[in-house]
Amino acid sequence: MRIGIVGYGKMGRLFRECLSGEHEVRVYSQHERMDFSSLRELYSWAEIIVLASSLSILPHQLKELSTLSKELGGTKVIFDIATFKADIVGLYRHFPREVKVASVHPMFGPGTASLRGRRFIVVPVPGREEDSKVVGELIKSLGGKVEFLEARTHDRIMGFVIGVPYFLGLSYLALSIERGLGRFGGTSHAFLETYGKAVLNDSPDFVEEVLKRSRGEIEEFLQFLREGKPNPSKLRKRLSEEEIKKAYERFYRALE
Amino acid sequence: MRIGIVGYGKMGRLFRECLSGEHEVRVYSQHERMDFSSLRELYSWAEIIVLASSLSILPHQLKELSTLSKELGGTKVIFDIATFKADIVGLYRHFPREVKVASVHPMFGPGTASLRGRRFIVVPVPGREEDSKVVGELIKSLGGKVEFLEARTHDRIMGFVIGVPYFLGLSYLALSIERGLGRFGGTSHAFLETYGKAVLNDSPDFVEEVLKRSRGEIEEFLQFLREGKPNPSKLRKRLSEEEIKKAYERFYRALE
């Protein structure tokens, strides 16, 4: 398939790398001259368009693509890979029917080695739910695992599974730096601090955006923390010995 | 050297395994018949005694060893490897002078492959500070890295570098189970949840003990969280690009 990638940040690069083996992949970037000099050129060439741009540029590019699709026609599949969806999905409403659209969230970062077996959440565009099935099938054909979530539910869950971890990792890192804990820390400390540092591999703007949009869920988690300390015996009953053993092995693997 | 290990839980096993290559190592356990049938037998044989017993048995064994050392005499090095020290160090006061004593905290768990390069904190017994230098040198000769900390400072730092991570890992795991987040979680989620599960590799009693003894530090951390969200740009300035890159690689290694 001819896959056009819009945006050449860390995720754009990752998608190009992972998809180039089996597909023809070309890139358009606003910031540097890649394979095309305009979105129009990319649109004319591509069968599939993946928008890997930042949340600030994405709305403009979606509007331009929507206009281009009416002018130039053609059967395409178009989806973005932004982290938050509630402000995005509405922008897909006015694409012509022959263009299949959805918003997609890859649940991994640029450190992954392959798309195979990785999880993608597909967020349907309201009124175009059928399109999201086409997009889901396409992602499966690229090796991904697919879940479907409505935009607001998606954003709320992301607050919990990205926003809260980011917040905890960075807060623990800040505490560690402030109090000079590094000298005395053992494996638990190293694991959490490693995570805090890994979060900073994302751009500060992106991290700020995640924290801002997850404010509600972070507040809920803080409330959860205040309500009582965790009960290890109760938690243990919810997990198999095997699960705990494997987690412990993975934990040490990160520290080697 | 003849090293006698008291207690044959996960850490006792680890020490036996790691030290057996270069030393003669024998074990006494209250729970199962190992190399000795009593502490007295172990005491008579060993040059170095490592107490790897649980926090509930340890005080009794220290008292017994103190009595034995007066009765049987001999030059020995004796230290425990318990996680909290304030209630322990006083029990070493009455050993005869020819027995060198200190309290030691290995800053790693039973998942480690070797003691080499691993961090140990040596906590001096008040009034016997010279002894702790002997113990420190011994641990260096076994391949460990040594830091010294006074008991109360040690316990307070442990509240931050073990208690707070345990609390965060288990709380996040509890949230994840309660809300069914696993299905939608990506890499950040998986990393934190892995940590929460890895904590449960310790016995529930030990985890409860850690949480209980770290109550003050956990409360301080919660206060720290309430005071404001972390600032990624500011944190980035405290770290090198190299550090962030390496942390990100380690982060993905745990997820493979």
Q: Which of B118, B149, B180 is the last residue of a domain?
A: B149
Are A235 and B181 an interchain contact pair (Cβ–Cβ within 8 Å)? no
Q: Which residues of B fall within a CB distance of 8 Å from A146?
A: none
Measure Cα distances from A232 to A110, B33, B111, B205 in Å: 34, 30, 19, 8
Tell me: pLDDT of B83 over 90.
yes
List pLDDT tens digits, range B137-189.
Answer: 999 999 999 999 999 999 999 999 999 999 999 999 999 999 999 988 889 99
Measure Cα distances from B70 to A222, B98, B126, B127, B171 in Å: 53, 10, 20, 18, 47
Are B172 and A168 an interchain contact pair (Cβ–Cβ within 8 Å)? yes
Q: Rounded distance, CA B227 to CA B208, Å?
A: 27
Coil, helix or strand for A99? Answer: strand
Question: Do B16 and B70 fall into the same domain?
Answer: yes
Q: Which residues of B fall within a CB distance of 8 Å from A196?
A: 235, 247
Report the gap between the CA of B138 and the closest CA in chain A (Å): 19
Question: Do B98 and B194 fall into the same domain?
Answer: no
Whether A235 has its CB under 8 Å from any CB of chain B: the answer is yes
pLDDT given for residue A52 in this prediction: 97
Scanning the structure block, which residue is given the tokens 């998809």? A19
pLDDT given for residue A211 in this prediction: 96
pLDDT given for residue A183 in this prediction: 87
CB-nearest partner of B200 from A147, A174, A239: A239
Q: Rounded distance, CA B85 to CA B145, Å?
A: 19
Question: Do A179 and A110 fall into the same domain?
Answer: no
Tell me: pLDDT of B67 over 90.
yes
Closest C-alpha among A123, A118, A119, A89 to residue A104:
A123
Question: Do B137 and B234 fall into the same domain?
Answer: no
What is the rounded average pLDDT of the residues B238-252? 94
Whether B148 has its CB under 8 Å from any CB of chain A: the answer is no
Are B174 and A256 an interchain contact pair (Cβ–Cβ within 8 Å)? no
Count, residues in chain B: 256
Question: Do B166 and B229 fall into the same domain?
Answer: yes
pLDDT given for residue A165 in this prediction: 97
pLDDT given for residue B227 in this prediction: 85
Best B157, B197, B241, B255 member to test A by mutation, with max A CBs in 10 Å, is: B197
Query: What's the domain range around A95?
Result: 2-149
Q: Which two tokens stand for residue B139?
A: 């641990």
Q: Which two tokens stand for residue A158?
A: 């992301």
Tell me: pLDDT of B254 over 90.
no
Name, in order, each residue with C-beta under 8 angstroms of A36's C-beta and a sequence gap of 6 or more. Answer: A4, A26, A27, A28, A42, A45
Question: Do B122 and B178 fall into the same domain?
Answer: no
Q: Rounded distance, CA B199 to CA B218, Å?
A: 16
Are A186 and B250 an interchain contact pair (Cβ–Cβ within 8 Å)? no
Whether B72 has its CB under 8 Å from any CB of chain A: the answer is no
User: Would you place residue B35 in the very low, low, confident or very high pLDDT band (cuts 50, 70, 90)?
Assistant: very high
Are B226 and A229 an interchain contact pair (Cβ–Cβ within 8 Å)? no
Spell out a b/e string for B220-237, using b for 16 or more CB atoms within 10 Å of the CB, else e.
bbeebbeeebbebeebbe
Q: Is the interface score ipTM higher than 0.85?
A: yes
Q: Which residues of A fall within a CB distance of 8 Å from B230?
A: 167, 170-171, 173-174, 211
Question: Do A204 and A128 fall into the same domain?
Answer: no
Q: Which two tokens stand for residue A19?
A: 């998809």
Whether A45 has its CB under 8 Å from any CB of chain B: the answer is no
Q: Which of A149, A174, A193 is the last residue of a domain?
A: A149
CB-nearest partner of B208 from A172, A232, A243: A232
pLDDT given for residue A29 in this prediction: 96
Q: What residues pair up with A241 in beta bridges, in sequence order? A: none
Count structural domains, chain A: 2
Question: Do A127 and A161 fall into the same domain?
Answer: no
Report the gap between the CA of B97 and the closest CA in chain A (Å): 29
Which amino acid is located at B60 in the chain? H
Are B197 and A224 an interchain contact pair (Cβ–Cβ within 8 Å)? no
CATH number at residue B122: 3.40.50.720
SS (H, E, C) chain B: CEEEEECCCHHHHHHHHHHCCCCEEEEECCCCCCCCCCHHHHHHHCCEEEECCCCCCHHHHHHHHHHHHHHHCCCEEEEECCCCCCCCHHHHCCCCCCEEEEEEEECCCCCCCCCCCCEEEEECCCCCHHHHHHHHHHHHHCCCEEEECCHHHHHHHHHHHHHHHHHHHHHHHHHHHHHCCHHHCCHHHHHHHHHHHHHCCCCHHHHHHHHHHCHHHHHHHHHHHHCCCCCHHHHHHCCCHHHHHHHHHHHHHCCC
Question: Do A168 and A219 fall into the same domain?
Answer: yes
Question: Do A198 and A183 fall into the same domain?
Answer: yes
Size of interface A-B (CB pairs under 8 A): 252
pLDDT given for residue B235 in this prediction: 96
pLDDT tens over chain A, length 256 residues: 999 999 999 999 999 999 998 999 999 999 989 999 999 999 999 999 999 999 889 999 999 999 999 999 999 999 999 999 999 999 999 999 999 999 999 999 888 889 999 999 999 999 999 999 999 999 999 999 999 999 999 999 999 999 999 999 999 999 999 999 988 888 999 999 999 999 999 999 999 999 999 999 999 999 999 888 899 999 999 999 999 999 999 998 888 7
Average pLDDT, chain B: 95
Q: What residues pair up with A51 in beta bridges, in sequence order? A: A6, A80
Question: Do A42 and A16 fall into the same domain?
Answer: yes
pLDDT given for residue B111 in this prediction: 87
Q: Which residues of B fall within a CB distance of 8 Å from A165?
A: 172, 188-189, 191-192
Whether A226 has its CB under 8 Å from any CB of chain B: the answer is yes
Question: Do A127 and A167 fall into the same domain?
Answer: no
Angle between helices A215-226 and A204-213 (to 10 degrees): 60
Whether A148 has its CB under 8 Å from any CB of chain B: the answer is no
Q: Which of B149, B176, B211 is the last residue of a domain?
A: B149
pLDDT given for residue B256 in this prediction: 72
What is the rounded average pLDDT of the residues B193-222? 95
Q: Identify whether the C-beta of residue B31 lies closer than 8 Å to the C-beta of residue B78.
A: no
